Structure 1
Amino acid sequence: MKQSSSSGLPNRKMITGIYIFVLVYTIVQLLWWGVLLHQQSKQIAKNEQIALTHKIQELTHPAEFMQEMQRLHKEQQMRTFKYIGEGVIFLVLILAGAAIVYRAVWKQMKLGQQQQNFMMAVTHELKSPIAVAKLNLETLRRHKLDEEKQRKLLDATIRETNRLDQLCNNILLASQFEHRKYQPFLEHLDFSRLLRDATEELQCRTVSHNIEADIMPGVELQGDKFMITLMLNNLVENAVKYAPKGSTIRVKLFRSGETLKLAVSDEGEGIAPEERGKIFLKFYRIGNENTRKSKGSGLGLYLTRKIVEQHGGTIAVKDNSPKGTCFEITWNDYSVQSV
């Protein structure tokens, strides 16, 4: 796996080198074309002056000779202006086209690298829960275990199948968002209750971290129940990946002035400021795929941002105090029940 990933770097350098060589060669040829035209223009002017000197006997007045010389000089200036102007235009077009092509090629190469990372991550994400579930089921089939051990193995198997289910949902939804085929099923939701239920379910599925919920009661929203649940799952599971085991993940729904905010915070290492604008991009993951220890496909935060935008909100990344990361979602259009 390391060889296939590292081989992309020399290919990228080789393609960039070839591209620069072709661009430099084209510009040098353009400049050489300008030099040849300049020499040709000088030769034409010289030949015209020689021809004029041969005709000097036909010119009856010196003023006519001077007029002819001025005409030849203007023609030479026009030729010089013409090929310099054409050369500058060609040079601008070449540089502009080269910049557009380079940007497009670079984006394609970057997307290819991200897709390669995605395939590596998804392969790992698929194999791990399948292997765990298979091992647990084979253990249950081959050994007579007491009821408590059977329950633990079944619970672990269910957690792994839930991981598989969410990964499949993320991949399908990413494809639908990409082609704008997903239409949300909007309904009137008890947002507070939905978040409490989803948080409790997440805590049952998560044994490595403590999930605390501070949910303001009585909040209602128009939204897609499945998508909002997926949004919260992605944010919490992202915190589980990067926060130390045994630490606390906090889910808080609160009002701030005229806005409603949902914050999911962890106690991890945090996200560098230069990475915060990239983490919501499709397939993007911080670090190198060969050395990264955290699980994931690079789709969770991408889908989260899409879901938030689809529900009329905005999402931002902030520092958590004293350490960690806080994902904060803000809505302006909401209602609160009288409780």
Structure 2
Amino acid sequence: MIRKFYTNIQSGKGITALYIILLSYIVLALIWWGVLLFRQSRQITQFERSTLSLRTDSLAQPVAYQLELQRIQKDEHLRTFKFFGEGATFMGIILLGAFFVYRAVWKQMRLNSQQQNFMMAVTHEFKSPIAVVKLNLETIRKHKLDEEKQRKLLDNTVREADRLNQLTNNILLAAQLESHKFKPVMEMLDLSGLLEHTIITLQGRITTHTIQAHILPQLWIYGDTFILELVINNIVENAVKYAPKDSLISVRLAPQGHFLHLEIADQGPGIPDSEKHKVFQKFYRIGNENTRKAKGSGLGLFLSERILAQHGARIRVRDNVPAGSIFEITWPSYSTQSA
């Protein structure tokens, strides 16, 4: 019994139940305090009336008697108003404070849960490429393979090393952004060329999906090449994680009026409307970490949103028709030639 209660406390259920019990006790104690005060006020009124009726001059001076009765009733009304006012004020302060305390505690519990899920996901993300790299290298070392098999193993090793490098970059960049120590190296860059190069690299690493690019040439923006390449990698690989195998991932870059739009569309299950704004939160991932099949750390979209904000760009997600999601990035300005 004690162990079960302790487990509920750790999971947050026990804390919520205990919080509700304590809050209920405080509210009931306040209500009972009010009831006692009202009873006391009624007793005071009855005592004053009985004392007034026993006075020998009460019948001789009926006008003074009525005035004294009115004073007693007025005092009772004032006490009642005072009790209601103080009780309502205390109740409001208690409930308002309880709301803010509960919200702060709940946010902390949710953050702890997300951090725990992050550690589980990152541990798995690190172990998988390390295990593949180790197995490939041991295979090459222990066996005499023909050139074609050896090349495939080396290519696979490089892909896993790139994946491990990207995960490491995400973690380091997230820490720098949180501490406000990261300063992007801004320069005029050919976004069209950067996007084409990144797509070619991704397609060479991703064999389960087809990446289709529609990129207008010579579209220049002011930004950091390294972290914008990281943004593109994160969003495309996020689409790969959730989209069905052998499905199409579409990348489009084109100007619309004074704005430059980049759209990355997939044919996955899509994102519910209630989750669309949450997917850019740190560590946030849809579903439960223990039952979720898709890999990830919950940092990719968070980093993408923060990086794009530093570039004055905006990212949002909308539904793809008939199925899937479209991540749309909008730059407020662009150029058709380098400065």
Same fold (TM over 0.5): yes
Q: Do the aligned partners of 1:174 and 1:303 also contact (CA within 8 Å) in 2? A: yes
* 1:275-327 CA distance string (max 9 Å, x none): 21211111111121111111100110111111121111111212234432211
2:131 partner SS: helix
Q: Do the aligned partners of 2:8 and 2:14 also contact (CA within 8 Å) in 1? A: no
Structure 2 residue 256 is matched with structure 1 residue 256:
yes
d(CA) in 1 for partners of 2:197, 2:58:
107
Partner of 1:66: 66
d(CA) in 1 for partners of 2:290, 2:265:
27
Q: Do the aligned partners of 2:58 and 2:64 also contact (CA within 8 Å) in 1? A: no
d(CA) in 2 for partners of 1:43, 1:322:
74
- Tell me how far 1:10 sits from its aligned partner: 7.9
Partner of 2:211: 211
- Tell me how far 1:54 sits from its aligned partner: 3.8
d(CA) in 2 for partners of 1:285, 1:228:
22
* 1:160-216 CA distance string (max 9 Å, x none): 111111111111111222232211110111111111111111112222222222211
Structure 2 residue 8 is matched with structure 1 residue 21:
no
Gapped runs of 5+ residues in structure 2?
A: 1-6
Using a 3 Å threshold, how does the CA distance of structure 1 residues 273 and 177 change in structure 2: closer, same or farther? same
- Tell me how far 1:59 sits from its aligned partner: 8.6
Equivalent residue letter for 2:98: A
Identity %, equivalent residues: 56
Partner of 1:161: 161
**TM-score when normalising by structure 1:** 0.92
- Tell me how far 1:9 sits from its aligned partner: 9.0
- Tell me how far 1:258 sits from its aligned partner: 2.5
**TM-score when normalising by structure 2:** 0.92
- Tell me how far 1:60 sits from its aligned partner: 6.0
d(CA) in 2 for partners of 1:293, 1:66:
83
Partner of 1:4: none
* 1:197-240 CA distance string (max 9 Å, x none): 11111112222222222211111111011111000000111111
Range with greater deviation from structure 2 (190-199 or 242-251) = 242-251
Range with greater deviation from structure 2 (225-234 or 66-75) = 66-75
Structure 2 residue 173 is matched with structure 1 residue 173:
yes
1:210-289 map, 5 Å: 210-289=210-289
Structure 2 residue 50 is matched with structure 1 residue 57:
no
Q: Do the aligned partners of 1:213 and 1:252 also contact (CA within 8 Å) in 2? A: yes
Partner of 1:308: 308
Using a 3 Å threshold, how does the CA distance of structure 1 residues 9 and 283 change in structure 2: closer, same or farther? farther
d(CA) in 1 for partners of 2:242, 2:230:
19
d(CA) in 2 for partners of 1:63, 1:179:
79
1:217 partner SS: coil
d(CA) in 2 for partners of 1:208, 1:103:
43
Structure 2 residue 160 is matched with structure 1 residue 145:
no
d(CA) in 1 for partners of 2:228, 2:10:
43
Structure 2 residue 134 is matched with structure 1 residue 134:
yes
Partner of 2:102: 102
Q: How many residues align?
A: 332
- Tell me how far 1:8 sits from its aligned partner: 6.5
Q: Give the alignment's Cα RMSD to 1 decimal.
A: 1.9
Q: Do the aligned partners of 1:56 and 1:65 also contact (CA within 8 Å) in 2? A: no
d(CA) in 1 for partners of 2:148, 2:315:
42
Partner of 2:123: 123
Equivalent residue letter for 1:235: I
Using a 3 Å threshold, how does the CA distance of structure 1 residues 9 and 23 change in structure 2: closer, same or farther? closer
Using a 3 Å threshold, how does the CA distance of structure 1 residues 251 and 33 change in structure 2: closer, same or farther? same
Using a 3 Å threshold, how does the CA distance of structure 1 residues 322 and 64 change in structure 2: closer, same or farther? closer
d(CA) in 2 for partners of 1:325, 1:79:
63
